[in-house]
Chain A
Amino acid sequence: MNETLDRTNLTLRDRLKAAVESFGLPRLIIAGFLLLLFIAAPFVGSDFWTQISNTLNRFSWNAVMVLAMVPMIHSGCGLNFGLPLGIISGLLGATLSIEFGFTGPLSFLMAIVISTPISLILGAGYGWLLNKIKGGEMMIATYVGFSSVSFMCMMWLLLPYHSPTMVWGFSGKGLRTTISLEGFYDKVLANFLQINIGNLSIPTGTLLFFALLAFGMWAFLHTKTGTAMTAVGSNPTFAKAAGVNVDKMRLLSVMLSTWLAAIGILVYEQGFGFIQLYMAPFYMALPAVSAILIGGASVNKASITNVIIGTILFQGIVTMTPTVMNNMIHMDMSEVIRVVASQGMILYALTRKTEGAK
């Protein structure tokens, strides 16, 4: 009797251990921490449903940029630290759309339409560069992102924008650092079919938009080309021997990733309500990178589930810590925790790189 009990205990423990292993210890710790924050929230005087709404909102703003990580991870180009390049395409689309005088929901649509060719062209150049330096993609990507942001800092001032909503009021030229989207596409997606129950509000439109893109990505990975892309990331020599054009696949993945980043920033802006220029895109890549890693992706494997779980966990912590921790210890810890979680996650994933690779 006792013996059988022991045995079931043992298998249960083994099963638990296996479950922990498959879910990943860091992910478990972060999920536990987030859960703790949610439980603690009502006790320190912040409303639970408001917190949930905030988390959902932040998720909906950021999820597309995290999704942008997926294609490059699949093709073996690593984590897209060059995300700012795509973000800049999005910003160009956004500002040009306003400059051309589009307003309301149409301005959002036009921002997408304008940023698409820009992001594809920039992505192609970026992809061409990454094909030249196979093996060092992530390092180069980081600097592509940084330098493009710095370059655009000059261009935002020099480009001949005239729309009075965007330029500096004093001189009449050069774009402002922050541009309000009121009257343009502020919350166009979020307000679509928005659900409000008490303090809980769900940005249905934004979530649907993300779901659409995520479904598109999932479907793409199930096609012949998507399969080839994954194989290129898994073993480029194998793919080459099977007649796949490795460089072309990598280029395609980089273009796709850059385009998604452009769309991602537009979605972010419509939720946030402002366009942020100049140095704002500088560190945009890091939250997205750490989110997908927290979600359980490795340097060369990622799924849509990783994107969703990772964004919820990461954005949940970012939203919850300021309110809960500040109320609890009366000190602003949120930034510290956010930085520790995001940088620590990137560090952790990069040290495990060899394990995932062949």
Chain B
Amino acid sequence: MANANTPLLEMRNIKKDFFGNQVLSDINLTLREGEVLGLCGENGAGKSTLMKILFGMDVIRETGGYEGDILISGEKVKFNTPFDALAAGIGMVHQEFSLIPGFTATENILLNREPKKKNVISEVFGDRLNTLDYNEMTGRAEAAIDKMGFSIDKNMVISEMPVGHKQFTEIARELSKEQLKLLILDEPTAVLTEKEAEALLASIRSMSKQGIAVIFITHRLHEILAVCDKVVVMRDGLVVADVAAKDTTVEEISKWMVGRSVDTTAKAEVRDNEGAKIAMSIKRLWVDMPGETVRDVSLDIREGEILGIGGLAGQGKLGIPNGIMGLYEAGGTVIFQGQEIPLNSPRKCLDASLAFVSEDRRGVGLLLDETLEWNVAFPAMQVQNKFLKNYLGGLVKWRDEKAIREVTERYIDELAIKCTGSKQKARELSGGNQQKVCLAKAFALEPKFLFVSEPTRGIDVGAKALVLEALRRFNRDSGVTVVMISSELEELRSICDRIAIVSGGKIAGIRPASDPSEDFGMLMVSMVK
């Protein structure tokens, strides 16, 4: 072949920033026909952004485009919309399904590309009224399913399919496009059972034999080693490794994924609370939180420690506090200071002096349209009858505006919340300051035990340090046990005493925060489902 040496896809010096925040710098990738490339990296490493650039998603153009070149078969291309990418032979299967539930697999596979027959009406009114050629459709759907190498019932309605088959329907839809040269699979095995995942791997192999190149994004590293020709590992917007799959191991990849070249943040004194009493004992907890299912978590939390809970997104780490605090349906037993805490009842948890700072600041954490005073004082007022004046022998519980203002102003000072005053609306604050208000709200409850979920998500570096410092001080000065959930391992290592890693809805292991990052990285991917 004449073009045997021209790679199918080449990405040269791709750079991308979101409003000055560099998320990709100098990415170089090459991919040949029929090659399978495994792309891995922690959440936020830049995998998704890179794929969005390749697929011409609107969000890239809207945020100022990207730098660098993309070459398909040696020709420079610039995709403005996903349709351009589709026309160039790139297909993508997203993490979320885009299928019509009431249609059959065949109809979904060929949606809007159906073969059509002319009829009397369409002769008069135009092509939009052509009849669908169901025989032809069946044939094409069969061909696509054959190409995939995993058999699904082409006549089954999507809503009745098991989740794995939906995934395969999506893949078949991409394969039914004749011009398809490159298929991007974004965590396709996340929803599959082990058997289905194996079938998917087999179908990737068969696609590759037919000359279709595949970019395979997954957290399950052994799958990458099993099916890929080469592995690209990303971290903080850089490609840190680009090697042949046969030359590497799961250990090496996970080290690349989490390893920091210069470890500046981890400077916490790690305390060993070996002998301390157990503050909370969680046994066989399950939580039905969409996207963060907890399957079977048993965990002992020691009095006075800061315990970190880490893990990859979607593995269930966020489900643990949300389930215990009653925001999502949960089961199992939680014993706090010798007392069993009833699940599914936020009030009972708060009564037991637990507090929770939610990861969903704007949705759960704040009254955006109310003053900071209300935000800070509300839970303490409702749960503990603080900041109230009693009249008529307790019959009338009047809001004590003065006490509310005092406590709010105290926390504004203590946490250095930037605002125009305690009467400002929470909506008007920046993300970092909103987070501090959420902390103040929890602190005002004076809890014995605090869950903090993703306290630094979406806030800048300076605010991050302040928030972490506030948490540390709260733990040290008031002796409050803190459980902090975060996707950022280094952040956990910088503040926690012990870190538990959640994987596949279970605790994969608990280690002192002083252990090397690689060990945690191994745990993160150990039970990924």
Contacts of B381 in A (CB 8 A): 224, 227
Query: What's the least CB distance linking B452 to chain A, in Å?
Result: 14
A223 within 8 A of B: yes
Q: Which of A219, A235, A242, A300 contacts B382 (CB 8 A)?
A: A242
Given A241-B356, A243-B350, A244-B382, decide whether A235 and B397 contact each other with a Cβ distance below 8 A.
no
Closest residue of chain A to B441, judged by CB? A242
Asked if residues A237 and B364 are in contact (CB atoms below 8 Å), the reply is yes
Query: What's the least CB distance linking A247 to chain B, in Å?
Result: 13
Bound form: Cα–Cα A245–B383 in Å: 11
Asked if residues A235 and B350 are in contact (CB atoms below 8 Å), the reply is no
A-B contacts, CB under 8 A, total? 78
Asked if residues B346 and A224 are in contact (CB atoms below 8 Å), the reply is no
Closest residue of chain B to A224, judged by CB? B397
Contacts of A222 in B (CB 8 A): 398-399
Asked if residues A242 and B368 are in contact (CB atoms below 8 Å), the reply is no
Bound form: Cα–Cα A237–B396 in Å: 26
Q: Which of B347, B360, B370, B388 contacts A243 (CB 8 A)?
A: B347
Q: Count of B residues near A, CB < 8 Å?
A: 31
B149 within 8 A of A: no
Contacts of A219 in B (CB 8 A): 396
Bound form: Cα–Cα A164–B397 in Å: 48
B351 within 8 A of A: yes
Bound form: Cα–Cα A219–B396 in Å: 10
Q: Which of B325, B349, B366, B388 contacts A238 (CB 8 A)?
A: B366
Asked if residues B399 and A234 are in contact (CB atoms below 8 Å), the reply is no
Query: What's the least CB distance linking B500 to chain A, in Å?
Result: 23
Contacts of A244 in B (CB 8 A): 347, 382
B367 within 8 A of A: yes
Which size bracket describes the interface of A in this complex? Answer: 20 to 34
B456 within 8 A of A: no
Q: Which of B356, B374, B397 contacts A223 (CB 8 A)?
A: B397
Contacts of B398 in A (CB 8 A): 222-223
B362 within 8 A of A: yes
Contacts of B356 in A (CB 8 A): 241
Q: Which of A224, A241, A301 contacts B325 (CB 8 A)?
A: A241
Asked if residues B366 and A235 are in contact (CB atoms below 8 Å), the reply is yes
Asked if residues A240 and B346 are in contact (CB atoms below 8 Å), the reply is yes
Asked if residues B327 and A358 are in contact (CB atoms below 8 Å), the reply is no
Question: Interface digits, A227-241 against B, CB 8 Å rule (1 contact, 0 not)?
Answer: 110110011011011
Asked if residues B346 and A243 are in contact (CB atoms below 8 Å), the reply is yes
B378 within 8 A of A: yes
Asked if residues A237 and B382 are in contact (CB atoms below 8 Å), the reply is no
Asked if residues A241 and B346 are in contact (CB atoms below 8 Å), the reply is yes
Within 8 A of A (CB), among B376-415: 378-379, 381-383, 385, 388, 396-399
Q: Which of A234, A240, A245, A356 contacts B367 (CB 8 A)?
A: A234
Asked if residues A301 and B369 are in contact (CB atoms below 8 Å), the reply is yes
Query: What's the least CB distance linking B213 to chain A, in Å?
Result: 44
A225 within 8 A of B: yes
B363 within 8 A of A: yes
Contacts of B378 in A (CB 8 A): 227, 231, 238, 242
Asked if residues B327 and A241 are in contact (CB atoms below 8 Å), the reply is yes
Contacts of B379 in A (CB 8 A): 241-243
Query: What's the least CB distance linking A215 to chain B, in Å?
Result: 13
Asked if residues A238 and B367 are in contact (CB atoms below 8 Å), the reply is yes
Within 8 A of B (CB), among A102-122: none
Asked if residues B351 and A231 are in contact (CB atoms below 8 Å), the reply is no
Asked if residues B362 and A358 are in contact (CB atoms below 8 Å), the reply is yes
Contacts of A245 in B (CB 8 A): 347
Asked if residues A224 and B385 are in contact (CB atoms below 8 Å), the reply is yes
Bound form: Cα–Cα A90–B351 in Å: 41
Query: What's the least CB distance linking B394 to chain A, in Å?
Result: 11
Q: Which of B360, B367, B397 contacts A231 (CB 8 A)?
A: B367
Q: Which of B327, B369, B382 contacts A228 (CB 8 A)?
A: B382
Asked if residues B399 and A224 are in contact (CB atoms below 8 Å), the reply is yes
Contacts of B167 in A (CB 8 A): none
Contacts of A301 in B (CB 8 A): 369
Q: Which of A235, A240, A241 contacts B368 (CB 8 A)?
A: A235
Bound form: Cα–Cα A301–B370 in Å: 10
Bound form: Cα–Cα A243–B385 in Å: 12
Given A241-B346, A241-B358, decide whether A225 and B367 contact each other with a Cβ distance below 8 A.
no
Known interface pairs A237-B363, A238-B366, A301-B369; 16 further A-B residue pairs with C-beta atoms within 8 A, sorted by A's residue number:
A222-B398, A223-B396, A224-B388, A228-B382, A238-B364, A240-B327, A241-B325, A241-B346, A242-B378, A242-B379, A243-B347, A244-B347, A244-B382, A356-B369, A358-B368, A358-B369
Residues of B bordering A, CB below 8 Å: 325, 327, 346-347, 349-351, 356, 358, 360, 362-370, 374, 378-379, 381-383, 385, 388, 396-399
- 5 residue pairs A–B, Cβ–Cβ below 8 Å: A227-B399, A231-B367, A237-B363, A240-B327, A241-B365
The 3 closest A-B pairs by CB, nearest first: A243-B347, A242-B379, A224-B397
